[in-house]
Amino acid sequence: MNSKVLYIEDEPFISQIVSEGLESSGFVVKAVADGKLVMEALKVFSPDICVMDIMLPSIDGYSLTAEIRKIDSHIPIIFVSAKSLTEDVVQGFKAGGDDYLKKPFSMDELIVRIESLLARARKFPVIGASVEQRMYEFAGCHFDATHQQLTTPLAKYLLSFKEAALLEMLLQRKNDVLKRQDVLNKIWQEDTYYNTRSMDVFMAHLRKLLKDDPKVQILSLRGVGYKLFC
C-alpha cells in the first residue's frame, strides 16, 4: 500500500508542484491550505506522515503540531519553511516536529527525508529487546516502552516517538555512559548540527518530566554523552 502524505501549504503554486512531485513518486497526497482544516483531515485521511509549512492561515505550524501531538504522538511531522534561523528550527523540534527542511528545497531531498522517517516509524520499536522486556521500573517511575507511556510519582505522560526511544536507550545504559553519537546514529540516523539540536531539545523535555522523581537524574557529560542515575 502506498504511503499517505498530508501536505499543509497555503501557497497554491508550491502546493501543486510538491503534491505532483510526491504523487509521481508513488505517494498518496492530500493537500490542505488552511491550518484549521488539518485536524479533520487527520481523522478522515489517516495519513502516515505530515509535511507542513509554518506560516499558515488561522493557526501556525508550531501551534498546529502541538495540537496534533495531543492526539497522536507517533505520526512523523516534517516542517518545510522559509524561516531559517536556528531559533526557528529549535522551536519546530520543541513543538513536536521530527525534521525541518528549509525552503527552497529539492523534491529529492524531501522524498528522502519522508522515506527515512517512514522507515524508522515502521521498524521502531526494537532496540535489542523483545516486547515482553520493554517494561522498565526505575526509582519511583514506570516506563511502558511499547505504548510510549511514562508514569512518575506525580503523573502519567504519553511520550513522543523520539522521547520514548531516547528514554529507552538511557534506561538500557542506566548508571553508565550513553554516547551522543550512539543516540544520533540509532534514533536520528545522521549526525548533523540540526539533529544534535533536536536531540538536546528532546533530552531537556525528558529531564523536565523526570523532575517529578528526585531520585532520577540525567547528567550531561560535555562532548561525550549522558548518564541516567536512579
Residue pLDDT tens, the chain, 230 long:
689 999 999 999 999 999 999 999 999 999 999 999 999 999 999 999 999 999 998 899 999 998 998 888 789 999 999 887 888 888 888 888 888 988 888 998 899 889 888 887 775 543 333 444 478 999 999 998 877 789 999 998 888 778 888 999 999 999 999 999 999 888 887 777 778 888 888 898 899 999 999 999 999 988 889 999 98
Spell out the residues 6+ positions from residue 80 whose beta carbon is closer than 8 angstroms to its own: 9, 51, 52, 53, 101, 102, 103, 105, 110
| Residue at which a domain ends, from 123, 141, 159 | 123
Q: Are residues 58 and 106 in the same domain?
A: yes
Overall number of domains in the chain? 2
Of the candidates 75, 107, 123, which is a domain's last residue? 123
Q: Tell me whether the omega of the peptide bond preceding residue 12 falls within 30 degrees of 0, making it cis.
A: no
Say whether both 135 and 115 belong to one domain. Answer: no
Residue 212 lies in domain = 131-229
Which grid coordinates are listed for 135?
517494561
Q: Within the chain, what is the greatest distance between any pair of CA atoms?
A: 54
Q: Are residues 135 and 74 in the same domain?
A: no
pTM of the model: 0.62
Q: Which residues of 147-167 are buried (b: 16+ CB within 10 A; e: fewer)?
A: ebebebeeeebbbbbbbbbbb
| Same domain flag for 136 and 85 | no
Q: Kindly state whether residues 93 and 31 are assigned to the same domain.
A: yes
Asked if 115 and 22 sit in the same domain, the reply is yes
CA separation for the pair 184, 33 (Å, rounded): 34
* Same domain flag for 75 and 153: no
Any idea which residue has 522523581 for its cell? Answer: 213
Residue 60 and residue 106 in one domain: yes
Q: What is the C-alpha separation between 32 and 36, in angstroms, rounded? A: 9
Cell, residue 126: 526494537
